[in-house]
Amino acid sequence: MTDLPEKTDRKMGLVIDLDTCVGCHACVISCKGWNTENYGAPLSDQNPYGADPSGTFLNRVHSYEVQPEQGAAQLIHFPKSCLHCEDAPCVTVCPTGASYKRVEDGIVLVNESDCIGCGLCAWSCPYGARELDLAEGVMKKCTLCVDRIYNDNLPEVDRVPSCVRTCPAGARHFGDLGDPGSAVSKLVAERGGMDLMPEMGTKPVNKYLPPRPKDRIDDQIDILAPLLAPVAEEPKGFIAWLDKALEKL
Amino acid sequence: MHPAPSVIIFTTLSGLGFGLLVFLGLGVPDVSGWVAFVFFAIAYGLAVGGLLASTFHLGHPERAWKAFSQWRTSWLSREGCTAVAALLVMGLYAIGPVFLGQRWGLLGWLGAALSLGTVFTTSMIYAQLRSIPRWNTWLTPVLFLSLSLAGGALLSGQISLALVLLTLAALVQLAWWKITDGALARSGTDLGTATGLGTRGAVRAFEPPHTGSNYLLREFVHVVGRKHAQKLRLIAFGLAFAVPLALLLLPFSHVFALLAVLSHVAGVVASRWLFFAQAEHVVGLYYGKR
């Protein structure tokens, strides 16, 4: 049944640091690489080498410009994938029971053999976290790399989602957000982690850490600037006479 | 939202078909024999045709039967269950007037209620979605129900009822357009809340995640035809309500009645196209497309 669990034992999720993300898209590529050849149907591309390529991705990086009332604008890279919401609308709308939220760790998954590809779960998701794969006709979404995080065949360091393992900037963190003592929960508390579209009532598990304020340029561009100021703005004496004489020539 | 022909055909035709079944279930018109057969055939053709059209947009239509299982949480599942129940009950009920010249009142009432319930569950598939503020209002079920009943009255040849119900549906349609036009702005969701960055300044989409298109943009960020929306609303309103009302007020003739039905259907199709094409899914905010 597509009832949501009353509560989950753990709330596994991601914490994404908008301060350190450099917008390199490495998480996008590693996500596609891992998930196209492991859990579930591959992530297909349509017309990949043609004029109008498109394809299924579980993670995409947007870039936004924030213009404060005063001061310089700030560019913020913004990776977005499934937020594994506690009150996930995509699960309850599913007519076949293919979508479900796991009681043990809160991960939202799709049972692809039950999915009819009606697309209603993608309609209900305000974040655009689900994409219908055009080749397979089933809904694809972030699994938090459920086939990595519990995988005893992998070295322990690799038992995190592919995007987290890959991020060269350390902008992605993985852990149990239901445990206030976990490293990710502490990070969220310390940095004021936020929800996306809290007004939608989805209660996302994934949190975003806001960018820190950048260094400000107040009045001086360079401490050497005063020493480099022009010595004589208006020429005087002989130079002034020369200037005028040359002007008249 | 992408106005997929399959969902437009589905909601329009099944709305009309179940609307007609409501009236047949109530015994209006009280017909029997071949006339009853033709009425039921039209109603079933529309209702079943619409339901079949809805399966065309599925990735795996062969698994559609699984959609009957999640009626506890899913409006789409409830719709499937209600539709099948309505068609079964009305099929049983139809045996009476068509073959036996009898009318089993209670069964008819039950079938009528289930038919109306099907239209309601269809409308709730859309009205439940908070991600599409324009649809997320109690007026959406009222709109679907009033259009279905008006169409049903028109198809069943109940002129005085159709005049009243068409006028009511016209008013609901106007109210729906008027009220839902500011729905996205009133929802409080904007790029600021979508990114959580709104408290820091004005947020602008600077770079999309990729240069090409994707499923989300194709499905949810339909902007073609928005500029003609007001003209299309006039056309939809004229065809769905004004023309049929005028034709019904003329002295009765079968040609006028047929024209009224065709005009109404064309108008509802136009209105339903706008229902999808004008609906703004909040995911468009992330792409700076709102």
- Chain-chain contact of A73 with B201 (C-beta, under 8 angstroms): yes
User: Which residues in chain A have their CB less than 8 angstroms from residue B214's CB?
Assistant: 54-55, 57, 60, 131
A27 CB-near residues (< 8 Å, 6+ apart): A59, A61, A79, A162, A163, A164, A166, A167, A172
Average pLDDT over chain B reads 93
Burial class of residue A157 in the structure, from the number of CB atoms within 10 Å of its CB (0-12 exposed, 13-18 middle, 19+ buried): exposed
Angle between helices B5-25 and B254-277 (to 10 degrees): 130
Find, in chain A, the residue whose alpha carbon is nearest to that of B213.
Answer: A54
Q: Give the pLDDT confidence score for residue A242 in this predicted structure.
A: 85
| pLDDT tens sequence across A30-41 | 999 999 998 899
Structure tokens at A238: 């002989």
User: Which of these, B232, B230, B263, lies nearest to B246 by C-alpha position?
Assistant: B263
Assigned domain for A226 exists: no
User: Which of these, B162, B157, B161, B166, lies nearest to B38 by C-alpha position?
Assistant: B157
From chain B residues 183-212, the ones with a CB under 8 A of any chain A CB are 187-189, 191, 193-197, 200-210, 212
Average pLDDT over chain A reads 92
- Chain-chain contact of A66 with B203 (C-beta, under 8 angstroms): yes
Q: Give the pLDDT confidence score for residue A234 in this predicted structure.
A: 75
Q: What is the CATH number of the domain that holds A83?
A: 3.30.70.20
Burial class of residue B7 in the structure, from the number of CB atoms within 10 Å of its CB (0-12 exposed, 13-18 middle, 19+ buried): buried
What DSSP string runs through B262-282? HHHHHHHHHHHHHHHHT---T
Residue B145 distance to chain A (closest CA, Å): 21
Q: Give the pLDDT confidence score for residue B109 in this predicted structure.
A: 96
Residue B94, pLDDT > 90, answer yes
- Is the minimum CB–CB distance between B65 and chain A shorter than 8 Å? no
Region B44-69: what's the mean pLDDT?
91
Q: Give the pLDDT confidence score for residue A220 in this predicted structure.
A: 65
Choose, out of A43, A52, A118, the residue to mutate when testing the contact with B (most B CBs < 10 Å).
Answer: A118
Residue B40, pLDDT > 80, answer yes
Alpha carbon separation from B147 to B17, B152, B164, B167 (Å, rounded): 11, 8, 12, 10
Model ipTM value: 0.92
Q: Find the helix or strand (DSSP H, E) in which B205 lies.
A: strand B202-207
Look up the domain containing A70 and give its range: 12-209
User: Which residues in chain B have their CB less than 8 angstroms from residue A2's CB?
Assistant: 70, 72-74
| pLDDT tens sequence across A158-194 | 999 999 999 999 999 999 999 999 999 999 999 999 9
pLDDT over 70, % of chain B: 99
| pLDDT tens sequence across B153-206 | 999 999 999 999 999 999 999 999 999 999 999 999 999 999 999 999 999 999
User: Which residues in chain B have their CB less than 8 angstroms from residue A85's CB?
Assistant: none
- Chain-chain contact of B286 with A62 (C-beta, under 8 angstroms): yes
Look up the domain containing B172 and give its range: 5-286
Choose, out of B131, B135, B275, the residue to mutate when testing the contact with A (most A CBs < 10 Å).
Answer: B131
Within a 10 A sphere around the Cβ of B175, how many other Cβ atoms?
Answer: 13
Residue B288, pLDDT > 80, answer yes
Structure tokens at B176: 């729906």
Residue A110 phi, psi dihedral angles, 5° rounding = -120, 125
Find, in chain B, the residue whose alpha carbon is nearest to that of A68.
Answer: B201
Structure tokens at B231: 């003209």
Q: What is the CATH number of the domain that holds B76?
A: 1.20.1630.10
Assigned domain for A246 exists: no
**Contact status, residue A128 vs residue A149, Cβ threshold 8 Å:** no
Find, in chain B, the residue whose alpha carbon is nearest to that of A127.
Answer: B283
User: Which residues in chain B have their CB less than 8 angstroms from residue A56's CB?
Assistant: 215
Distance of CA A72 to the CA centre of its chain: 23
Question: What are the residue ranges in chain A where pLDDT is below 70?
Answer: 1, 217-221, 229-233
Choose, out of A66, A67, A70, A194, the residue to mutate when testing the contact with B (most B CBs < 10 Å).
Answer: A66
Characterise B101 by phi-psi region: left (phi > 0), alpha (psi -120 to 50), beta (else): left
- Chain-chain contact of A123 with B131 (C-beta, under 8 angstroms): yes
Residue A3 distance to chain B (closest CA, Å): 6
Residue B225, pLDDT > 70, answer no
Residue for token pair 């852990």: A175
User: What is the domain count for chain B?
Assistant: 1
What 3 state SS string does chain A have? CCCCCCCCCCCEEEEEECCCCCCCCHHHHHHHHHHHCCCCCCCCEECCCCCCCEECCCEEEEEEEEECCCCCCEEEEEEEECCCCCCCHHHHCCCCCCEEECCCCCCEEECCCCCCCCCHHHHHCCCCCCEECCCCCCEECCCCCHHHHCCCCCCHHHCCCHHHHHCCCCCEEEEECCCCCCHHHHHHHHHCCECCCHHHCCCCCCEEECCCCCCCCCCCCCCCHHHHCCCCCCCCHHHHHHHHHHHHC
User: Which of these, B42, B44, B51, lies nearest to B79 by C-alpha position?
Assistant: B51
User: Which residues in chain A have their CB less than 8 angstroms from residue B124's CB?
Assistant: none
Q: Tell me, what DSSP letter sits at residue B98? A: I
Assigned domain for A214 exists: no
Q: How confident is the model at residue B224 (pLDDT cuts 50, 70, 90)?
A: low
Return the SS3 of B251: coil
Burial class of residue A130 in the structure, from the number of CB atoms within 10 Å of its CB (0-12 exposed, 13-18 middle, 19+ buried): buried
Encoded amino acid at B66, one letter: K
Return the SS3 of B227: helix
Structure tokens at B67: 């959609």
User: What is the domain count for chain A?
Assistant: 1
Return the SS3 of B230: helix
Where b means 16+ CB within 10 Å and e means fewer, B99-121 reads eeeeebeebbebbbbbbbbbbbb
